[in-house]
Amino acid sequence: MTSTSDFTATTSEGIRRSTDAPTSIFNGEPSRPVSYRVPSGRPHNQRVHLTKSTPAQGDDHLSAMLRDLRSELDIKKREEKILQAEISAILSQASVAPEQSRSVGLAVSRLNNNLLLVESSAKDFSSELTTIASLANNISEKVCILDEAKSRVVDCLQMVNDMTDLGTCSDGVDEAISKEEYELAAQYIHRFLTLDKAVFQFETSDQEIGDTMQHNYKVLSSAAQRLKGILEKKMDEALSTENVPQLHRFTKLFPLLNEHEAGLTRFASFVSKQIDAKGESNLKIMAAGGTDEKRRKILYADTLFHFFEGVADILDANLSVIESSYGGERLISFIAIIQKNVDDIACKVLDEFSTRRKFKQKKKMVRNWESTNSASGNQAEQIDPMELDSLLFELCQMNANAEMYWKFVRKKFAKHLNSIGKVDDEDGKEESAEETQKREERKKAMQHNLDLQLNRSVLGTKMQELSGDYILLEQFYMNVCIEKAIQSEQRDEDGSLTSSLIDDVIYLLRKCSKRALSCANADCVCAAMNNFAGLLHDPLLQHLQTVIKTGFPSSGFAAEALQTAQNAYNAIQHGKTDGGSEAQKDTFLTALNNSRTMMDMLAELKKSLEAEFSKFGSDERERTKLLHSLSQFDDFSRQLQNCTAHGVASLARTLFKSRLKTSCETYVDLPHSLTSEQLTQYEANEPFISNFNVAIDKLFAAFEPLLIKDNYETLLLCTCSECYKHFERVIGKCQFNRFGALQLDREVRQLNSYLSAVVGWKAREKGARLSQIVSLLNVETLDEAVDVWQSSSSSRLISPSEAISILQLRSDLPHNLIANLKLYNEELTISRLPTNALLANFRFTIDSDGDKLGPDYHLFPRLVAEMIKSHDIAELELAFAQGRWRLDEWGLQTQPAIPTGAHLIAWINGKNESAIDAEWTNLVDSLNGIFCSSISSISKHLTASPKQTLKMNGVKKENGKMMQVRYGAVPEESLCTENLTPWRKLLPCKSDGLISLLNPYSIYATTYSTMGLNVIRLCQEIDFSPSPKSIHGEGHHSYAIFDLKDKDLDLRKVEFTYKNVDASRREPAIGIFTVQGGVDQQSGTLKASFSAISI
């Protein structure tokens, strides 16, 4: 089993790298130093040695090895002679025929000859290998010398070619400049600038060659300066005349002279001039009111659109020059230069928008409304929602246009990013992992620089401010519209079960969501969705909760008087009146239907938005962020569901609970100890259940046309639960005989049939407990009752104590035998923790008569019973804990945690305090002996007697003695099989049943485990729970933390064998209980239980 125990650790020796000398696998001695030859092509004197041993040390070692081998060979030869002598002696003594001796001698001689031949061949082979190794060393040295000579020859040839190119460039540059062949001249200069500097530093004894090289250097340097001046002059002339072909021609030549900045600046000024011209043209059209009267409401958004579209056309026509000649890395610098002109024009449009639309004034009004949190202020009322609607749409369009422009720039830049560092496969070379990582880092850095350039520009800052303002105004717009929808809510006269509020809110949500999506900004859309969710919670959900919490008005004189007083109070305090109870009923039912309908319509809206969000942009992270923002609608739907469930439950309590209670009370007055004639008469003329079903049907029929289908079904289920609950309550007040129980079974079956026909099969689940009660009442003997109760172990809803109480309702069964029934119960609950670990919770409970424990020792442990009597214990709690509960991983515990170690709590009766202390000491010694623990170290100084913090879980038995509590703890207790074995022996099943799953090796390897013993007095009975503490239930459980991949605990099918000793027969009764299905994937809980009643 894989465990998450803190005590499981890997020692460092298992992974620590050894620092000792290498060891031979034959004799354990340190390995010898080994030298390796350098591969072919490297100098012979650059051999690599794995050790730092010198050649002299290596020779000494070889000589020592040879001496050892020779000594061993001599020993073997002597052994050979001895063996041969022994063989000869044996052969001489043996009576062997001459023919056989002769054949053996011939075989031995042939073997000796073969061995001599093998030895000779081995020596020849060794000599040849030595010769080959010597030749290989000589060849390697010569190849290294040839490689070095080859590299020098290649360097010399490259220098000769460079010197030749230098002369060629010097001879042709002046002629190219004079003929205005500037492209050719720029290529000569570029070749000169890319030559190796070693060419100009070359020293030679030939004076003529040296003078020529110096002359060529001066000529080319001078030509480079002259050509730069010429290109700058020609570029300026082309700018003044707006000669685009000449501008492109000369712009491409500047990089050949290493004058990138000069060419880039001049070309950027040309493009900026075009952008300014395009912007001024758009500004004039904007000042004139646009070209289309119908689009005047979005005039400024259209102006930005046309301007950005013109800028995109300009960049599309000119960026190819920068990409081809300057490279994509210079593209960021070029965009930074022209972005200033784009910012100027865009800011002029935005400033005009703010002035003409009175944007700042409206924003100020909304901020004042936000600070006062009231939509009824004078400033907020001045804003027309229709005008604000068009303003919000124009804001979204402007933001979308800016995003479109930035998307175009990023797309152009992405082409260069994709071409960075492509692998050249012409020579068959592959890119290494390090080169790939550097290329990716370079691409990320360039993309980051571009994003910073765009986001931190003036336009980027302005659009971010407008996005924040849009969120503020959109929140105000939605709040005002929802408030108006609530105020103007009305129900259609065509018989609709919902009001206009739902349609208005869903339409508003769909409209605002799509408007936010048109911004093309994921952060803006997410912020809008957060605001929408908040507004749904505050005005809408609060309104529905207020109406539903008011409740359905009750009927009757007292209820009418209370409602009249409430209406008068509302009229005086709030100045509003209520139309009466009928109006309140309609309002309540409409709110219930609205709440449920809103859940379905929100689910449809979320589905449509998910389809649109999945197509948003090309960034997967942004789409994931948008889809995650819709999860808030699920939270709102859950709150609506809770609100609806509360309202339906309130309706069921108000209308059905009192009527069901009154109808069920009449069942008590009927006779239930029947004769056979009365049973036959009731079959023809049933006195109760038919009228009861008719009354329920009338209640259902009254509300079917008033509620939507889902709410009506929920109401039916709630009423069904109340019906079974009240019917079970009145059954507990009656006394039945055998015929009365048969009549009860008939009535319950008729009730189940009616409710199943109306509600569905879910009614069967609600009535399962009542059916089990009736089955238990319809028995003839106690033995049959025990069999019936135990046969329903897989679906039992009745506890052992409840089963005894139910049997006591039978007046014809012997009550003295019922009172003597002994109960034993064991449960296993397995829950999944947040870390995917498993919490296995075991509980074993035995009930017995505290005053007559002797006859019950086949169930109740004798050791515990005698200890309780001898020390006069009223209540006992002993617990052992190992490990620590991980609060940050597993969450809060439902009970106070057991401290690590062991602790003991006992309520002891005694004449005085000294007698109680003496009994406490004896109790500690007794428990220490039973469980083989270290709790004996609890001394008088480590014992406390709390007055307020500890309270009894059971009932205090009045016996005229003083009773006090004692508490002691041990900080350390190592749990092991010595503790578990005596604990298991206390159980009546011993090693069978659920206890068979408690493998000691698995339990004590877990992260956290506890074990304990609880003895509680319930009235006159003692509840014995030998079990560790748990966070579940009431503290009578055992649990341990398992890994989810545990193979020892198979949850798909677990078979437990139970052995109970029948007190009457004193023989074991064996039963099999099977758990199917494993852990529930939704609740993460598996529960197995078995209970036994022994007579």
Q: What is the pLDDT of residues 387-423, one digit of tens each?
A: 888 899 999 999 999 989 888 888 888 777 766 655 4
Asked whether residue 50 carries a pLDDT value surpassing 70, the answer given is no
Distance CA 881, CA 41 (A): 71
Q: Which amino acid is at 127?
A: S
Q: What is the dihedral of CA 359, 362, 366, 367, to 10 degrees?
A: 60
Structure-block tokens of residue 988? 């009546």
Which pLDDT does position 25 carry in this prediction? Answer: 27
Phi first, then psi: give them for residue 1063, nearest 5 degrees: -65, -30
Whether the Cβ atoms of residue 984 and residue 855 lie closer than 8 Å to each other = no
Whether the Cβ atoms of residue 482 and residue 509 lie closer than 8 Å to each other = no
CA angle 581, 587, 593 (to 5 degrees): 135
| Distant-in-sequence, close-in-space partners of 607: CB < 8 Å, separation ≥ 6 | none
Distance CA 1074, CA 1079 (A): 14
Whether the Cβ atoms of residue 479 and residue 543 lie closer than 8 Å to each other = no
User: Could you give the 3-state DSSP secondary structure of residue 1072?
Assistant: strand
C-alpha atoms less than 13 angstroms from C-alpha of 392 in its C-beta half-sphere: 27
User: Could you give the 3-state DSSP secondary structure of residue 885?
Assistant: coil
For residue 433, the tally of other CB atoms under 10 A from its CB is 7
Q: Which amino acid is at 347?
A: C
Structure-block tokens of residue 464? 């971010």
Which pLDDT does position 344 carry in this prediction? Answer: 92
172-179 LR contacts (CB < 8 Å, sep 24+): 173/219, 173/220, 173/223, 174/219, 174/223, 177/223, 177/226, 177/227, 177/230
pLDDT digits (tens, 9 = 90+) for 1030-1044: 222 233 333 344 333
575: left (phi over 0), alpha (psi -120 to 50) or beta: left
Which pLDDT does position 889 carry in this prediction? Answer: 78
Asked whether residue 223 carries a pLDDT value surpassing 60, the answer given is yes
Asked whether residue 34 carries a pLDDT value surpassing 80, the answer given is no
| DSSP string for 171-217 | HHHHHHHHTT-HHHHHHHHHHHHTS-GGGTT---S-HHHHHHHHHHH
Question: What is the average pLDDT across 113-124?
Answer: 86
Q: Do β-strands 1008-1018 and 1021-1025 pair in parallel, antiparallel, or remain unpaired? A: antiparallel
Whether the Cβ atoms of residue 785 and residue 817 lie closer than 8 Å to each other = no
When mean pLDDT is compared over 72-76, 212-216, 381-385, 582-586, the highest value belongs to: 72-76
- Residue 577 — very low, low, confident or very high, per pLDDT cuts 50/70/90? very low
| Distant-in-sequence, close-in-space partners of 521: CB < 8 Å, separation ≥ 6 | 399, 403, 467
User: Could you give the 3-state DSSP secondary structure of residue 965?
Assistant: strand
By mean pLDDT, which of 119-133, 601-615, 937-951 is the weakest? 937-951
The CA distances from residue 1016 to 485, 533, 1071, in Å, are 61, 51, 29
Nearest CA-CA partner of 243 in 265, 224, 266: 266
| Distant-in-sequence, close-in-space partners of 714: CB < 8 Å, separation ≥ 6 | 644, 645, 648
Which pLDDT does position 113 carry in this prediction? Answer: 85
488-656 in CATH: which number? 1.10.357
C-alpha atoms less than 13 angstroms from C-alpha of 97 in its C-beta half-sphere: 3
C-alpha atoms less than 13 angstroms from C-alpha of 455 in its C-beta half-sphere: 7
When mean pLDDT is compared over 293-297, 735-739, 840-844, 959-963, the highest value belongs to: 735-739
Q: Which residues pair with 820 in a beta bridge?
A: none
Which pLDDT does position 213 carry in this prediction? Answer: 65
Buried/exposed 340-367: b ≥16 CB within 10 Å, e otherwise: ebbbebbebbbebbbeebebeebbebbe
The CA distances from residue 299 to 83, 207, 381, 397, 515, in Å, are 117, 78, 26, 10, 17
């052969």: which residue's tokens? 91
């009994």: which residue's tokens? 919
Question: What is the average pLDDT across 755-759?
Answer: 88
Which pLDDT does position 396 carry in this prediction? Answer: 92
pLDDT digits (tens, 9 = 90+) for 847-866: 665 555 555 566 677 778 88
Nearest CA-CA partner of 540 in 498, 586, 488, 505: 505
| Distant-in-sequence, close-in-space partners of 768: CB < 8 Å, separation ≥ 6 | 795, 797
- Residue 1072 — very low, low, confident or very high, per pLDDT cuts 50/70/90? very low
Whether the Cβ atoms of residue 1054 and residue 840 lie closer than 8 Å to each other = no
Whether the Cβ atoms of residue 605 and residue 653 lie closer than 8 Å to each other = no
Which pLDDT does position 1076 carry in this prediction? Answer: 29
User: Could you give the 3-state DSSP secondary structure of residue 377?
Assistant: coil
Nearest CA-CA partner of 540 in 496, 594, 584: 594
Distance CA 844, CA 992 (A): 13
Nearest CA-CA partner of 656 in 720, 611, 709, 582: 720
- Residue 60 — very low, low, confident or very high, per pLDDT cuts 50/70/90? low
Which pLDDT does position 198 carry in this prediction? Answer: 53
User: Could you give the 3-state DSSP secondary structure of residue 876?
Assistant: strand
Q: What is the 3-state secondary structure (H, E, C) of 501-535?
A: HHHHHHHHHHHHHHHHHCCCCHHHHHHHHHHHHHH
Sign of CA dihedral 565, 569, 572, 577: negative
Q: Which amino acid is at 318?
A: N
More confident of the two residues 339 and 898: 339
- For 666-819, give the CATH class: mainly alpha
Whether the Cβ atoms of residue 1073 and residue 1088 lie closer than 8 Å to each other = yes
Identify the DSSP state of 833.
-
Buried/exposed 320-331: b ≥16 CB within 10 Å, e otherwise: ebbbebbebebb
Nearest CA-CA partner of 481 in 503, 462, 505: 505
Identify the DSSP state of 810.
B
- Residue 611 — very low, low, confident or very high, per pLDDT cuts 50/70/90? confident
Nearest CA-CA partner of 938 in 925, 929, 919, 926: 925
Structure-block tokens of residue 165? 């190119």
Nearest CA-CA partner of 1036 in 1025, 1021, 1023: 1025
- Residue 348 — very low, low, confident or very high, per pLDDT cuts 50/70/90? very high
Which pLDDT does position 785 carry in this prediction? Answer: 84
Which pLDDT does position 855 carry in this prediction? Answer: 52
pLDDT digits (tens, 9 = 90+) for 253-275: 888 888 888 888 888 888 888 89
Distance CA 1014, CA 217 (A): 103
Which pLDDT does position 819 carry in this prediction? Answer: 73
| Distant-in-sequence, close-in-space partners of 977: CB < 8 Å, separation ≥ 6 | 1000
Q: Considering all CA atoms of the chain, what is the largest pairwise distance in Å, rounded to the nearest integer?
A: 147
| Angle in degrees, 0-180, between the axes of helices 458-487 and 359-372, rounded to the nearest 10 | 50
439-443 LR contacts (CB < 8 Å, sep 24+): 443/417
Structure-block tokens of residue 946? 């709390």
pLDDT digits (tens, 9 = 90+) for 771-824: 989 998 999 888 888 788 777 666 677 877 788 888 889 988 888 887 767 666
pLDDT digits (tens, 9 = 90+) for 920-977: 888 888 888 888 877 777 876 778 888 777 777 766 666 667 888 888 888 877 777 7
Which pLDDT does position 796 carry in this prediction? Answer: 72
Asked whether residue 146 carries a pLDDT value surpassing 60, the answer given is yes
For residue 179, the tally of other CB atoms under 10 A from its CB is 10
| Distant-in-sequence, close-in-space partners of 541: CB < 8 Å, separation ≥ 6 | 636, 639, 640, 643
């090289």: which residue's tokens? 213
Q: Which amino acid is at 587?
A: T
Which pLDDT does position 56 carry in this prediction? Answer: 47
């029934």: which residue's tokens? 821
Distance CA 1007, CA 1005 (A): 7
Question: What is the average pLDDT across 870-892?
Answer: 82
Which pLDDT does position 280 carry in this prediction? Answer: 92
- Residue 242 — very low, low, confident or very high, per pLDDT cuts 50/70/90? confident
Distance CA 309, CA 279 (A): 11
Structure-block tokens of residue 781? 């003997």
- Residue 218 — very low, low, confident or very high, per pLDDT cuts 50/70/90? confident
